[in-house]
A = this chain, B = another copy of it.
Amino acid sequence: MKKAAIYGASGYTGLELIRILLNHSNVELTAVTSRRFDGLTVAEVFPALSGLTSLKYQNATPQKIASVCDVIFLALPHGVSMDIAPHFVGAGKKVIDLSADYRLRDVKEYESWYVPHKSSSLLSEAVYGLPELYRKQIKKSVLVANPGCYPTSIILGLAPALKDKFLEVSSIIANSASGASGAGREPQIGSLFCEVENGFKAYKVGKHRHTPEIEQELRILAGKKFNITFTPHLLPVKRGILSTIYATLGENISLERLHEAYCSFYAEEKFVRICPLGEYPNISSVCGSNYCDIGVCIDKRTNRAIIVVAVDNLIKGAAGQAVQNMNIMYGFDEDAGLCNVPLYP
């Protein structure tokens, strides 16, 4: 039984970590922090969790939290995580950071999209926490940089095709749409019900910060440097990301061969499901679970592959993947705490 804590547990990602860890049989959740909710119980802030935990939010230092946990989840904004993570690494704790701070291996790239880096010396210890690609490294790591939600969907969606050199990489376009929980729980006009409901729009067109993270991993998979186009959209749902990815195929790639490449790449993966030929995923079939569903198609008229990927942004796109990483780090069953069947309908 390991002791886990969550630093910054008052947002939707933190809440989702609590939800999952409360049902995890190898872990005891010992502390959750929040400045805003200091002194309140989790159930007071989130009545959905009433009766499930008596934990109280604390506004506590990393030192204090480190003394009561073996593993820490950081559900903090980028720029803040890198202030906090070194304390836990230094104290010999396992750290799973859900911010962007340790995802980019190139400090300059990070700084050109985010803010000045204050913890670059730790970057070399960080492992990009996508289990399907980095399971071995995660197993040995002490600092996991948990992937972004959009990157999870796009990297998993392209990995088999890139590995097999099926695609003209410069043609890759990822058109993604996310539920509103991706924008967090801060009150702002753009996140109000009346602004989101019945709406659909693109945002941060050509400049979303997940772009360099996606490119970093796609380049590693393809073994060469290139840029992609990535356009996020805001869906009027709470949860779920669907990424529809386009890329020109090399010559003579049949749909059967493409589909087979995906099936075999993910054959041993518990949380990736490849749709049967001719079928495509729906976010409503993954939400509430750690699944990533992938459907593949070839548009023969233009010789393009169309890859459609669905994840729950809060689970496989954040908290679920973080717990999956923890499971790997400790040698627990990889699906411990993550067996939820999608909540459909």
Interface flag for A90 (CB, 8 Å): no
Number of interface residues of A (CB under 8 A): 86
Verify B200–A177 contact, CB threshold 8 A. yes
- A187-B192, A237-B197, A246-B229 known; A48 vs B202 contact (CB < 8 Å): no
| Closest residue on chain B to residue A190 by CB atoms | B187
**B interface footprint on A191-207 (CB within 8 Å = 1, 0 otherwise):** 11111111111110110
- A193-B191, A193-B236, A237-B198 known; A341 vs B280 contact (CB < 8 Å): no
Chain B hits for A342, CB < 8 A: 48-49
| Closest residue on chain B to residue A345 by CB atoms | B194
Verify B175–A242 contact, CB threshold 8 A. no
Stoichiometry, copies per complex: 4
How many Å lie between the Cα of A187 and that of B200 in the bound state? 20
How many Å lie between the Cα of A111 and that of B15 in the bound state? 41
Shortest distance from the beta carbon of A270 to any chain B beta carbon, whole Å: 8
Shortest distance from the beta carbon of A145 to any chain B beta carbon, whole Å: 23
How many Å lie between the Cα of A177 and that of B284 in the bound state? 16
Shortest distance from the beta carbon of A344 to any chain B beta carbon, whole Å: 4
The list of the 6 closest CB pairs from A to B, nearest first, reads A199-B284, A201-B282, A48-B344, A187-B187, A193-B196, A48-B285
Q: Given A177-B200, A191-B194, output 19 extra A-B contacts at Cβ < 8 Å.
A: A47-B275, A48-B344, A51-B273, A175-B175, A175-B246, A177-B233, A180-B194, A193-B236, A197-B236, A200-B283, A201-B242, A201-B284, A202-B242, A202-B280, A206-B298, A206-B300, A227-B301, A227-B302, A343-B343
